[in-house]
Amino acid sequence: MLDDMGVLRDAVRDYRLAATAAGLDWPDYGESPAGQPPEVVYRIFGVERVAEQLTWLQAQPWPDRQVLPDVGWRMPWPEDEDALHYLGLSIGTPFPWRHQLPLFFFDVVLYTFVLAGEHEGEIWRYEISPDAWDSVRAATSLATLFDQWTRGIVAGVVVYDEQSKWLLVRDLGSAPDLDPLAFPIAPVEETLLRARQRECGVDMAIVEDGFTYTEELSDAIDAAKASLRR
């Protein structure tokens, strides 16, 4: 879903405050107004509009790295069709594979923002592995995601590491009220993963036949890339 902008601003602010209280060097650079995505974004992802929630987040003057948990960073606006390559992990999603923008990149997990349709505003996650078909919703919205990360810091399962200067995810099992799928860890416990996939509308028949669908999706991505070059 798309957050009320005030709710999203508050969630991001609370996350930064919790992160800095934990030790992260993240000065308050102030807030920038929502901008506009590059025109090419509409062509790459086949949408006619991009939500303010996303353009606002992308406009914020954050440090380039280290503000997200577990070696993650916010990806810049894509400049060409190569951005579609990341979407080759989209197995069985309940929305068109192309209607999502790669947003957060972690060491082993990619998070995307759904751009259109009934699932607009949701955050989806994909394990970066050729044999893992774990398309699943990480959070119902951006604010929900940041709220989970904030609660993880407060609970002591997201901690600041003095040596690496990163926020690192520790034992989520010690905080059972948190949603493990909101955190960039992999692999995810199998029972939880499959239950959440069914809950959020992932086509389990496609997941179970992941090898075949991977080839079909790869062909669709190649075709979309070719059309954008014309």
Please state which of the ranges 44-53, 56-65, 146-155 shows the lowest mean pLDDT. 56-65
Distances (CA, A) of 58 to 62, 134, 163, 180: 9, 26, 28, 25
Task: For domain 5-229, say whether CATH 1.25.40 is its number.
Answer: no
pLDDT at 42: 97
Q: What is the pLDDT of residue 181?
A: 97
Percent residues over pLDDT 70 in the chain: 100
Q: Which pLDDT value is given to residue 162?
A: 93
Residue 41, pLDDT score: 97
Dihedral sign from CA coordinates of 98, 49, 114, 199: negative
- How would you class 123 by CB atoms within 10 Å of its CB: exposed for 0-12, middle for 13-18, buried for 19 or more? buried
Q: pTM (2 decimals)?
A: 0.96
- Output the pLDDT for position 209: 87
Cα 69 to Cα 73: distance, rounded to the nearest angstrom: 9
State the DSSP code for 94.
S
Q: Are strands 100-105 and 123-127 parallel, antiparallel or unpaired?
A: unpaired
Instruction: Pick the more confident residue, 216 or 101.
Output: 101
Distance CA 8, CA 104 (A): 16
Domain spans, the chain: 5-229
What separation in angstroms does the CA of 112 have from each of 35, 107, 121, 127?
19, 15, 10, 12
Tell me how far apart the 2 most distant CA atoms of the chain are, in Å: 53
Average pLDDT over residues 77-104: 94
Angle, helices 52-59/142-155, rounded to nearest 10 degrees: 50
pLDDT confidence bin for 107, thresholds 50/70/90 = confident
- Per-residue confidence (pLDDT) for residue 130, from 0 to 100: 73
Q: Output the pLDDT for position 199.
A: 97
Distance CA 26, CA 153 (A): 15
3-state secondary structure of 113: strand
Average pLDDT over residues 192-201: 96
106, 125, 178, 202 from 186: Cα distances, Å: 11, 11, 16, 19
Q: Predicted confidence band at 122 (pLDDT cuts at 50, 70, 90)?
A: very high
Question: In which band, very low, low, confident or very high, does the pLDDT at 63 lie, cut at 50, 70 and 90?
Answer: confident
In this prediction, residue 211 has a pLDDT band, given cuts at 50, 70 and 90, of confident
Q: Grade residue 116 by pLDDT with cuts at 50, 70 and 90.
A: very high
Q: How far apart, in whole angstroms, are the C-alpha atoms of residue 118 and residue 74?
A: 24
Q: Does residue 206 register a pLDDT over 80?
A: yes
